[in-house]
């Protein structure tokens, strides 16, 4: 008997992720704040739940994919939160990127009802979600991870159990530091290239085949020089993640200067109206600063 699955949060990432589980034949219950986002899944056989509580009452495994820590707390602990329908043996899998300490608190509260919570943030963007090639970083109980791994394999390609509760979130923050600081390096490199009159396409080709290559260079570099700021991952969401990084760094008693700089530059990009643009729009803020503009 396949496990009954609930999926809460059907945004850019959650919708295709839930779709892969449905395609694999798992009974799927869905809930999201804007019900119309569920129409495609409902037409393919998913069933609707009016609240997270109602979804959890009918499921064995509950997936969550929502934007921020308060959203997860509302889904788990709110007035209509899943905790009010929780029963022993259920597993909650949170794909959101949120506070590691908040994750540990919620995991502890669910554990009192013999419910296991895994923090399982993802990397790979909307393309990875659609193609089921996400990297999934999982923290929490190892036997629970073993139980849900076949489900995670329907959505991701690289699946890693990182340790106890909160370690999945911490690993995702490592990912976000790498991504954002590398993005800044690409912005500065392309600003330097353009200011010195280099052909941008030839420059990207030349350096993209060597040690300087990165996902950000190959995928975002061409968009920067074309000033194509359509979002794959929005700056507003990147900034939410970087605030989590800075808070976790502060809790660990460390100062990360490059992280602080890129956060400041993304703040400038937001102030210039790029909050809902893709993270490659950081290029605009870097160019302005390089030219001595405020």
Our answer to whether residue 172 is catalytic in this structure is yes
Distance CA 42, CA 274 (A): 34
Which of 56, 81, 72, 66 is CA-nearest to residue 10? Answer: 66
Rg for the chain (alpha carbons), in Å?
20
Tokens 């009159």 belong to residue: 197
Nearest alpha-carbon partner for 61 in 116, 120, 131: 116
Q: What are 28's strand-pairing partners? A: 5
Q: Which of 112, 172, 202, 240 is catalytic?
A: 172
Query: How far, in Å, are 177, 184, 263, 265, 285 from residue 293 at the CA level?
Result: 26, 17, 18, 13, 9
CA-based angle 126:131:133, to the nearest 5?
A: 90
Which residues are identified as catalytic? Answer: 172
């Amino acid at each position: 008997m396949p496990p009954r699955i609930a999926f809460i949060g059907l945004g850019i990432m959650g919708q295709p992720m839930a779709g892969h589980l449905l395609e694999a034949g798992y009974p799927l219950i869905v809930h999201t704040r804007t019900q119309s986002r569920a129409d495609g899944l409902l037409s393919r056989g998913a069933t609707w739940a009016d609240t997270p509580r109602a979804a959890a009452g009918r499921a064995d495994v509950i997936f969550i994919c929502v934007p921020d820590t308060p959203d997860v707390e509302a889904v788990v602990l709110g007035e209509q939160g899943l905790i009010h329908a929780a029963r022993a043996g259920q597993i909650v899998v949170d794909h959101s990127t949120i506070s590691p300490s908040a994750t540990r608190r919620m995991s502890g509260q669910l554990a009192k009802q013999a419910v296991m919570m895994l923090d399982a943030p993802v990397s790979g963007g909307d393309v990875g979600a659609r193609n089921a090639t996400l990297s999934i970083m999982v923290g929490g109980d190892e036997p629970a991870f073993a139980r849900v791994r076949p489900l995670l394999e329907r959505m991701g390609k690289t699946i890693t159990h990182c340790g106890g509760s909160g370690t999945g979130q911490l690993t995702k923050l490592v990912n976000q530091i790498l991504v954002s600081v590398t993005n800044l390096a690409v912005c500065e490199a392309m600003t330097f290239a353009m200011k010195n009159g280099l052909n941008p396409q030839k420059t990207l080709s030349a350096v993209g085949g060597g040690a300087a290559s990165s996902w950000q260079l190959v995928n975002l570099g061409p968009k920067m020089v074309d000033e194509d700021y359509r979002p794959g991952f929005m700056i507003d969401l990147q900034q939410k993640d970087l605030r989590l990084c800075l808070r976790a760094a502060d809790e660990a008693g460390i100062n990360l200067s490059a992280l602080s700089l890129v956060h400041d530059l993304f703040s400038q990009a937001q102030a210039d109206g790029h909050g809902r643009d893709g993270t490659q729009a950081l290029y605009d803020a870097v160019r302005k600063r390089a030219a001595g503009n405020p």
